[in-house]
Structure 1
């Protein structure tokens, strides 16, 4: 909880600084759009967080997002080369494909004892290739389909904008489900146990393989849900959509307190981490400094080409911070153990026997 409070304070300070720099940061349009972006990131960051808590990693989630959107466009769009099926057919089939990706990767990791990094890296490239083949290297458009309202509309309309975009409603449901699973179910306790000490979890009778497969299925499912939202938001899909999104998800989870060692993290932290990542992304475009140059008022803005430099630096800082915290905690445990050992009563020592006189 201390880490969540600290990151919440960082988020508030960031928002305050950006608002002072540019009052438009808290304008209705920017707030609604940023909330939408936070929600869509948070949906699949929740799945990534579950995988990280169990001690794994899912590098394919960005490709799953792209595959879901491409399949949905292929199945339900009325454009050239698309099949034109109703959305109630396209959405379930696209989500089923996402779930199958997670199931396949989970089985490869558990049955063949392969490293999650290698399996999901291969899955990332393979799924990206499938998306490219389905889209035939081009772009599939939804045109003016009512489906576009899913991401671009919402509840409580004020001034033409929906104050509560539908992706926020979906994210709230995913967040509530993730919090319930992690903190109120046996499966959640098993996830923490698996990430904390895999061997101990196995010896305690936990079906480690089943738990691990479930986390990858859930991760891909959240990627599929996010893919549907992104397809609606963008309005057209290609194999490029979703590229690099796995890095945002990892960064959001780590910033929110999910240790890459496993066994740590929570739903609230993932929410905060997702918000920080999208506020940074938005802040790169919104931040400005007004100054006077020879009586001429000028505005200095951040170079958008620095986006990945800043985000990469944030990820490194988060990982370094996580490592430092673990080192300090380990030192404290060692010191307390030494103090407890020194304070413990010594065993009774028999007095020496008198020598023969």
Structure 2
């Protein structure tokens, strides 16, 4: 194509373009819905929506019955797959209730609410009084268009359905774990598997620790011998609370309060391995100062002074396990820890924790 032909093509294209802006097409004609022209159809849709909302309380009741009546270990075989019956039925009932609320809301908007298109001109950020009055009028118009005033069960149904859906949520929260009553805490987070006569064993080879074989300055990561009797989650939970460190120090170079004279064996002491700040495992041992350092947040405990905190964010001394020896000289526990191990919690009683100067 020559240069002259190209210029002519551009001129022809420019002539076809509109000279001014595209005119406002306005709002398209609104086609009426079948519920707008047929009152019986609108009433049928109304009854359907109310029916969907009425099924929600029934499903909530089913949820509660399943939660309290179906055993947690009951099995349900579905398409050749073994499922937990309780959790499956809870999910189906609560999920279906939420689905019905959503479907009814969508259907309500599709067939009963006023769907006429409207244009709202932009205005400044500050709303004058007449604008607020206009907003109130628009709100009232919206309420009128929703049909709530004429079909009062719609508003009651949706409010009741949404309100009842709080019940499954609240009930489900109770299933996150046992209520932390004093008795429950005493048997769970405040108790370990340590007991009188339980041997201390190396956590690598599970060999019993003999007092005569430990050297001054040595630290050993250990655990209770009866830990090997557990499996799975019970094993992991018990180990997380019962893990210990065993250290031997010169009895003449450390402070042993009168109340803990029989908690040690010739300078051999045993402490929880779990930091009292946020529960990190600790074993960074400084032989000369008798300090134990937590690698997470640098909390430092003086094992030569009953595990008191000498630095860092930890607020409680490291719990000490009372130990002694059996007839063959192997280290055994005298009892469980006298205070809960691990980080603090709201209900924990800290009055029994060792403090600097305690005897």
**Greater RCO, CA 8 A, separation 6+:** 1
* The structure with more strand, counted as a fraction of residues: 2
Scaled by the length of structure 2, the TM-score of the pair is: 0.21
Determine which structure has more spread, i.e. the larger CA radius of gyration. Answer: 2
